[in-house]
Amino acid sequence: QVNLLQSGAALVKPGASVKLSCKASGYTFTDYYIHWVKQSHGKSLEWIGYINPNSGYTNYNEKFKSKATLTVDKSTNTAYMELSRLTSEDSATYYCTRDYPGPFAYWGQGTLVTVSS
């Protein structure tokens, strides 16, 4: 069965960076894009972007182009998202998710990022 296992909660200082991981199992990793979604506390969902694990091609929401960097490691079936120059506005739960069948058909459990000094 498809499973997306995300890294644990992170507490980071303002101005720092953090790298989140999403380990995929139960399917061929390179067959489907991995998307990342942000959910601020009590708020709706925002699409950050996606990466094609096969080619490394990325596509970002304009809002997150200077904030997020998506990468993959095909040897470990793991997708990563690095968030840079963190502020309190970046405190949120971040999800990785996979398409098919249907958009965002499978979701990781989410990673809570707290930005605080």
- Binding residues for another protein (CB under 8 A): 35, 44-47, 61-62, 95, 101-105, 107-110
Pairing of strands 68-73, 58-60: unpaired
**Minimum distance from residue 112 beta carbon to another protein (Å):** 11
**Minimum distance from residue 102 beta carbon to another protein (Å):** 3
Q: Quick one: 94 exposed, middle or buried, by C-beta within 10 A (0-12, 13-18, 19+)?
A: buried
Closer to another protein by CB, 2 or 16: give it: 2
Query: In 3D, which of 9, 17, 34 has the Cα closest to residue 112?
Result: 9
Closer to another protein by CB, 53 or 108: give it: 108
Closer to another protein by CB, 77 or 99: give it: 99
Structural contact between residues 6 and 110, judged by C-beta atoms closer than 8 angstroms: yes
